[in-house]
Each structure stands twice: as C-alpha cells, then as structure tokens.
C-alpha cells in the first residue's frame, strides 16, 4: 500500500473538502495535524514559545547604531534585538566567520565519553548520543552562546519512517529572548505580550537555555568589522579612481551642436566617469593626500589582527610576510588553551542542562557524566615509546590502539643498524683496521 493510500485511509470520515485534497503533500500535512492515534508522528505541532518572523532590511551599519544597540541592551528594561541583528550583519565578514569556525570545529574533532557513576565508560549510550543529529546541533548552539551571549532551544519529538523516535531541536531567535530579565517577546516590537519563560513548566525539559551571562565575543568584534568594511569600501573607490580616472572635455556649451557632439564623443570613449565644462569655466582637481592605499591597508591589517586576537588569542596564518612555522605553532598552542576553556564550559552545559533533559525524554538513562577526550600528540607519544623501549616492554595491543599500526610480532633478527646509536656506529666504522676503515679515517681527517 502506498503512503498516499495510507494517508487517505487515515482521513476517512472527514469532510469532503478535507478528504478530496488533490495533493499527497496536502494529505500528509493534514494527517500530521490530526495525528490520529499517533500513527504518523508524536511530534507537537505548536510551539511553547511562538514568535513572529520579521523582515530584516539591510542598511549601512556604523558605530552610532552599535552604541544605540548597547544602550538598548543595558536599559532597566533591556532588549537585545538591535544587538543581535547587528551580530548577524557583522557575522558575514569572511575573516570573522573563518576564525569562529576554526575555533568551533576544533570541538568536533574531539571524541567524548559518557561516564557511569562508577567511572566506567558507557559506550552503548555514547553511541546513541553520537548518532543523534541533535548532538551536533546542540553543541553548535552552546558554542554560539560564547559568541552571541546566549542560545535558546526548543525540543520536540519526531519519528522516522520505521517508527523510531528522534529528537528535534529548534533554535529560538535571539532577537526575541532577553536573558537579563528572563523574558520572551513573541514580537520584539511589542512590550506588553511577554512570557517569563523560566517560570514555564517546560523550562529545563522542552526549553533549554545556554547563557554565558555576557554580551558575547561578537560585541567586541563589531567596531573592528565596521572599520574594516569602511576601509575596504574606501580602498575600492581609490582603486576605481586610479584604474579609470574621470575625463573632462572643454567646449562651447552654449552651442547645442557642439555640446551634442561632445556628449556623444564622451559616451563613445569607454566607461569612465566624464563631464563637460564651458570654455570660460575653470576646473581644478582637489589636492588630497597622495597615497596608493597604504593608509587603508594599515587600517584593514589592524582590524584583522584585532579580530584574530579576540577569537583565537593569536594571529594564526594571517601575517604571511613576517610569519613563520614557530610563530604559527605557538599561536596554535594559544588557540588550544582557549578551546580547552570552551570544552570545560560545554561539559558544564551538557552535564547540568542537556543530559537531564535527554534522560527526562527517555533517550538516556542512569547517572551519566559527559566529558571530552583530548586528542593525543601521536608524534610525541612515539618519541616516548622509543625511549622507553630501551628499559621496558610495551604492550603490543595498547600500541596498536594508540597508533593504529597493525603490529604482529617482534623480529627474531633486527634489521642492520636498528636501535644502534649513530655516534657509536660512526666510531665503529672509523675504528675498523681493514682497507675501508683506513680509507674512512683518511677522508675524515
């Protein structure tokens, strides 16, 4: 039986208008709304915190609007919609986006464990959580609480085609949430119809809040992005002036024939800006600072460095002129220290907010503790193993697990030179009393 036939059978007894819908999509939509006996899905159709979608008009942003947004967020009755819209605007900056993604993706390169109360790993429930799309979604929302200041999720349940339940997470627009007062605005222009979301019974189970109690890292990046965008705009205008300078033609503008001929001539000569003045008029170019754009480049470089220092703690791979391997390695170490701090915060969110909600919904059971597993430096580990092999025996199974190398058994006769010190080997070769040893000593003398 096709899904179309199944859905139609679910709607038997409904009105003629409902049962004679032409499209299978319409039938599916109606069946989900009626949800007869839970056959299709147990997902809720209504939001606990409904909000109105707003059309956003992109206009030029400047420091004045940033100050106005800060004032709005710091009133006695604060709102955050101006500041969050500004964050969305500056977030399209390529450098800022790459830096935040670089910091966030390091979290997803790490594995994690779910610990039982006795300290053992619960691999079964870890596999359940790891395969849920909700894991990556919720982790990203936690990371965004660092950059945007806070995140709010609303959970719902759905079912796959084979009847297995899965968890759905929806991000509530930050423009409608004010964590400073615990209020939710369905329409952030409306000051009357508000909800105290922390007093709702669904808070903590269906509604999850991740609040850094700060305005977010992007608040500190706003001026640098705005100045960087301004400098790029001015530099592009300078490139246009230098690349295609404007043209001027002097003629008798009182003579219509000559004026029409001059106009046609200027239109036919390329696409550069042009103008026509009268023979009795005088035009002079304003003398500004003679520059090839270094002043704009220096401002862009300053803003770029400030953004990198803010997000990554160091300038990573940006300064190619004065950069070097040791400099980038030290910068990566600094970034790793910041990521470790993010890991500690995310573990608190998982253990105190998310895992209790997942256990309430029945996806996880028991006393569980979430913790990340930092990646090991395999190169450093192999150096330690090489040094320890001179004094201790190493477990082959442990070495296979750590390095991924399929070791079978030790060689009965090691390869020539294996485990031999280079200086000792050279001394032995020079100490030979045969023909070759004497020749080596003569060459080294």
Length of the chain: 445
CA dihedral 251, 255, 256, 258 (to 10 degrees): -40
Tell me whether residue 385 is in a domain.
Answer: yes
Pair 228, 302 in one domain: yes
Task: Give residue 81's pLDDT.
Answer: 93
Tell me whether residue 276 is in a domain.
Answer: yes
Digit-coded pLDDT (tens) for 163-188: 777 888 899 999 999 999 999 998 88
Q: Which regions of the chain are under pLDDT 70?
A: 1-46, 243, 285-291, 317-323, 376-381, 402-404, 409-445
Pair 315, 227 in one domain: yes
Tell me whether residue 250 is in a domain.
Answer: yes
* Alpha-carbon span 237 to 296, nearest angstrom: 11
Pair 383, 312 in one domain: no
* Alpha-carbon span 382 to 212, nearest angstrom: 40
143 by Cβ neighbours in 10 Å (0-12 / 13-18 / 19+) ranks as buried
Instruction: Quote the tokens at residue 16.
Output: 């003629």
Tell me whether residue 277 is in a domain.
Answer: yes
Tell me whether residue 423 is in a domain.
Answer: yes
Pair 314, 228 in one domain: yes
Pair 306, 384 in one domain: no
Tell me whether residue 47 is in a domain.
Answer: no
Tell me whether residue 24 is in a domain.
Answer: no
Pair 306, 385 in one domain: no
Q: Considering 298, 322, 346, which residue would you say is the last residue of a domain?
A: 322
* Alpha-carbon span 401 to 378, nearest angstrom: 11
* Alpha-carbon span 124 to 122, nearest angstrom: 6
Give residue 275's domain range. 223-322
Tell me whether residue 292 is in a domain.
Answer: yes
The backbone region for 270, taken as left when phi is positive above 0, alpha when psi lies in -120 to 50, beta otherwise, is left
Task: Give residue 282's pLDDT.
Answer: 80
Q: Considering 322, 337, 367, which residue would you say is the last residue of a domain?
A: 322
Q: Please write down the long-range contacts of 21-27, taking CB distance under 8 Å and 24 or more positions apart.
A: none
Q: Considering 290, 306, 322, which residue would you say is the last residue of a domain?
A: 322
Q: How many distinct structural domains can be found in the chain?
A: 2
List strand residue ranges (DSSP E) for 160-232, in order. Answer: 165-171, 177-178, 183-185, 194-196, 207-211
């Amino acid at each position: 039986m096709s899904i179309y036939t199944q859905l139609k059978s679910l709607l038997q007894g409904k009105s003629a208008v409902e049962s004679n819908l032409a499209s299978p999509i319409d039938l599916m939509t109606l069946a989900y709304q009626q949800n007869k006996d839970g056959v299709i899905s147990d997902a809720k159709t209504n939001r606990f915190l409904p909000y109105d979608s707003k059309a956003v008009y992109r206009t030029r942003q400047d420091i004045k609007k940033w100050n106005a947004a800060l004032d709005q967020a710091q009133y006695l009755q604060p709102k955050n919609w101006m500041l969050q819209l500004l964050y969305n605007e500056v977030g399209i900056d390529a450098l800022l986006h790459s830096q935040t993604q670089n910091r966030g993706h390091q979290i997803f390169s790490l594995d994690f464990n779910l610990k039982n109360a006795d300290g053992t790993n619960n691999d079964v429930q870890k596999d359940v959580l790891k395969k849920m799309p909700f894991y990556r979604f919720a982790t990203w929302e936690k990371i965004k609480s660092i950059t945007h200041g806070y995140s709010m999720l609303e959970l719902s349940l759905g079912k796959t085609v084979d009847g297995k339940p899965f968890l759905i997470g929806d991000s509530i627009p930050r423009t409608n949430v004010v964590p400073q007062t615990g209020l939710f605005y369905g329409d952030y222009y409306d000051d009357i119809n508000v909800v105290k979301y922390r007093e709702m019974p669904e808070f903590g189970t269906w509604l999850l809040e991740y609040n850094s109690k700060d305005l977010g890292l992007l608040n500190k990046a706003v001026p640098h992005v705005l100045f960087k965008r301004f400098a790029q705009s001015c530099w592009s205008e300078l490139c246009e002036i230098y690349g295609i300078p404007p043209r001027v033609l002097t003629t008798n503008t009182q003579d219509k024939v000559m004026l029409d001929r001059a106009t046609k001539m200027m239109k036919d000569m390329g696409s550069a800006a042009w103008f026509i003045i009268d023979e009795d008029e005088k035009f002079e170019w304003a003398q500004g600072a003679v520059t090839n754009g270094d002043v704009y480049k220096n401002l862009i470089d300053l803003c770029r460095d400030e953004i990198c220092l803010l997000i990554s703690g160091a300038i990573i791979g940006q300064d190619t002129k004065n950069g070097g391997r040791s400099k980038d390695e030290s910068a990566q170490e600094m970034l790793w220290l910041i990521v470790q701090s993010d890991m500690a915060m995310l573990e608190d969110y998982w253990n105190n907010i998310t895992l209790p909600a997942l256990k309430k919904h029945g996806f996880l059971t028991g006393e569980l503790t979430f913790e990340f597993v930092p990646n090991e430096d395999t190169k450093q580990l192999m150096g330690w193993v090489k040094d320890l092999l001179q004094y201790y025996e190493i477990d082959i199974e442990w070495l296979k697990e750590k390095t991924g190398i399929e070791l079978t058994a030790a060689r009965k006769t090691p390869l020539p030179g294996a485990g031999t010190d280079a200086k000792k080997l050279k001394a032995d070769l020079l100490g030979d009393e045969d023909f070759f040893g004497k020749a080596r000593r003569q060459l080294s003398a």
